[in-house]
Structure 1
Amino acid sequence: MDRQTISRLAHARHPVAAPLSDGSVGALLDRALAPDEEGRALDLGCGRAAWLLRALSARPRWRAVGVEVDAAALDLARESAEALGVQRRVALHHQDAREFAGPGRFELVLNVGATHVFGGLLPALAAAREFLAPGGRVLVGEGFWERDPSSAALASLGATREEYADLATTVDRVTADGWTPVAGHVSGQEEWDDYEFSWTGSLAEWALDHPEHPDAADARAAADLHRVEWLHGYRGTLGFVTLLLRQG
C-alpha cells in the first residue's frame, strides 16, 4: 500500500492532517480571515482541502485554490465542497505544489504540516512569499522538538536531530527570515493523542472492515507500527506549532 493511500485512510476521521483540534482550527482561521472581507486563499499541499473548505463555509466572499499531488484526496475534497455548497468558490489542482504557478496573489497562503514538500520550513515560506498579496498572511504549521530527541524518537520518525529545532529557535529562524508572528498555537498533548489515536485507529479499522482486500494486511501492519513508534518513540518529544505570519 502506497503512502498516499495510507495517509488518506488514516485521516478519514481527522481530515486536517496535523495535531489540531476543531476548536484550534476554527480559532486560527478566525484570526487569519475576517468574515466580512473579500479575498483569496491558497493551500500548498492541501490534502482533502479541509482548511480551505472550513474557511469558505463561513466566509461567502472568499475564494480558494488548493494544490495537492494525491488525486484521490482531491476527489474527496470535491465531494466535501459540493456537500457544503462551496464548489464554485474553490479550484483544486492535481499538481506538485513545487511546480504550481497559479495566477494572481492571495491574501492568505497556507502550508500546515506540508513544509516537507518544499524541503523544510524556510523553503516553504519562500514559496509562500511568491504568492502573497501585499499585507497578506501565511499560516504555516511545523514540527519542533519539545525536548532533546532520544535515539528511539529519531528512529521512529526517520528523522535527524537537525531536522527540527526547539520552539524558540524555530520562531527565531522565522523572524530572521523577515516574518512577524501575529498569532500562533502550540498543539497540546491531548491534541497530539487524539490525532495519533485517530490516525492509527482509522487505518486499523479499515483493515478490520475489509479483511479480503489485498491491502488489508499492509494497512494493519502500518497502523500497528505507527502506534508503536508514537507511543514508544516520539510521544512527548515532537511538538507542533502553527504560526500566523506577516512580512516585516
Structure 2
Amino acid sequence: MHRQLISHLAHADHPIASPVSAANLDRLLTRAKLPAGARILDLGCGEGAWLLRALELYPDATADGVDIGQEALASAAESAGRLGLSDRLRLHQVPADSFEATQPYDLVLCVGATHAFGALADALDGVRRHLRPGGLALVGEGFWERPPSKELLELLGSDPDEYAGLAGTVARARDAGYATVYAHTSTRDEWDEYEWSWTGTLTRWALDNPGPDGDEALAAADEHRDMWLDGYRDVLGFVTLLLRPTDR
C-alpha cells in the first residue's frame, strides 16, 4: 500500500487532515475576507475539505486543488459533486511544487503540506509564486512546543532545526517576506481528535479488510499511534498562519 492510500484511508473520518476543528477552519477562512469572485488555490489539498468549505463560505469563488494522491482527489471530486460545487472546483494531480497556473490567486493554502516543497521557507517561496498583489496565504506548519529529545528526533527521523518554536516559526515566515495577520494554534483537544481519528479509522479499515493490505494498514496505525502517544504528544505543536507578503 502506498503512502497516499494509507493517508487517504486514515483521513476518512477527519478530512480536514490537520489538527484543526471545523469551527476553527471556518474562523481561519472567514478571517481571510476574500473579495468577490476570489480565486483560491490549495497546494496539497488532500480530500479537499479546506477548499470545499471555502467555496461554501464564498459562493462566487472558484478554486484549484493540487495533490499527488489519486484516491484523495477522487474523494474531493465526489464530495464536490455531492455539495453542488463541481463547477467551481478544478483538481490537478501533480506535485505541489510543479503546479503552474495562468492567473494568480487571492488565497493560497498549504496546510500540513509544506514538506512537499522541503523546508517552510521553500514552501512560502512556492506559495508566493501564485499570489496576486495583496493576496493572502494560509499555511499550516508544525512547531516544537518544547525541545524534542534525542530519542524523539531519532524516532521521527528528524533534526532539531526541522521545526522552530512558535515564535521562531512566525519569525521564519517574516524572514521569508510575510507578515502574520492572524493565526490559530491547535489545542490538545484538536490534536487528540485528529490522532485518534487517524489511527482509529485506519485500524477499523484494517480489521474490516483482513489480508496483506489489512495487515499493512494495521501495522501503520499501530506505529503511528505509538509514535504519537510515546513520542511527540505535547512536544509537537501545529499552527496555521494567515500571511500577507511584504516588500521584504
Q: TM-score, normalised by structure 2?
A: 0.96
Match of 1:198 in 2: 197
In structure 1, what residue type is equivalent to 2:80?
Answer: A
Match of 1:230 in 2: 228
Match of 2:187 in 1: 188
In structure 2, what residue type is equivalent to 1:197?
Answer: W
In structure 1, what residue type is equivalent to 2:245?
Answer: Q
Offset at 1:137?
0.2
| 1:11 aligns to 2:11 (yes or no) | yes
Match of 2:171 in 1: 172
Offset at 1:79?
0.2
In structure 1, what residue type is equivalent to 2:214?
Answer: A
1:105-159 Cα distance to aligned partner (Å, 9 max, x none):
0000000000000001111110111110111000000001000001232233221
Measure, in 1, the Cα distance between the counterparts of 2:37 and 2:152: 44
Secondary structure (helix, strand or coil) at the match of 2:136 reads strand
- Given that residues 156 and 234 in structure 1 are in contact (C-alpha distance below 8 angstroms), is that contact kept between their aligned partners in structure 2? no
In structure 2, what residue type is equivalent to 1:245?
Answer: L
- Given that residues 152 and 232 in structure 1 are in contact (C-alpha distance below 8 angstroms), is that contact kept between their aligned partners in structure 2? no
- Given that residues 154 and 234 in structure 1 are in contact (C-alpha distance below 8 angstroms), is that contact kept between their aligned partners in structure 2? no
Aligned residues between the structures: 246
Offset at 1:60?
1.3
| 1:219 aligns to 2:217 (yes or no) | yes
Match of 1:142 in 2: 141
Query: Residues 37-186 of structure 1: matches in 2 within 5 Å?
Result: 37-186=36-185
Measure, in 1, the Cα distance between the counterparts of 2:189 and 2:111: 19
The percent identity for this pair of structures is 53
In structure 1, what residue type is equivalent to 2:90?
Answer: A
- Given that residues 206 and 218 in structure 2 are in contact (C-alpha distance below 8 angstroms), is that contact kept between their aligned partners in structure 1? yes
Secondary structure (helix, strand or coil) at the match of 1:148 reads coil
Offset at 1:204?
0.2
Offset at 1:37?
2.3
Higher mean C-alpha displacement, 154-163 vs 38-47: 154-163
Measure, in 1, the Cα distance between the counterparts of 2:102 and 2:64: 10
Mark the runs of 5 or more structure 2 residues left unpaired by the alignment.
none
- Given that residues 125 and 176 in structure 2 are in contact (C-alpha distance below 8 angstroms), is that contact kept between their aligned partners in structure 1? no
Match of 1:242 in 2: 240
Measure, in 2, the Cα distance between the counterparts of 1:4 and 1:149: 27
Measure, in 2, the Cα distance between the counterparts of 1:177 and 1:109: 16
In structure 1, what residue type is equivalent to 2:98?
Answer: E
Offset at 1:54?
0.7
Measure, in 2, the Cα distance between the counterparts of 1:214 and 1:177: 45
1:144-196 Cα distance to aligned partner (Å, 9 max, x none):
10000012322332211111111111111211222111100010111101100
Secondary structure (helix, strand or coil) at the match of 1:161 reads coil
- Given that residues 179 and 246 in structure 1 are in contact (C-alpha distance below 8 angstroms), is that contact kept between their aligned partners in structure 2? yes
Mark the runs of 5 or more structure 1 residues left unpaired by the alignment.
none
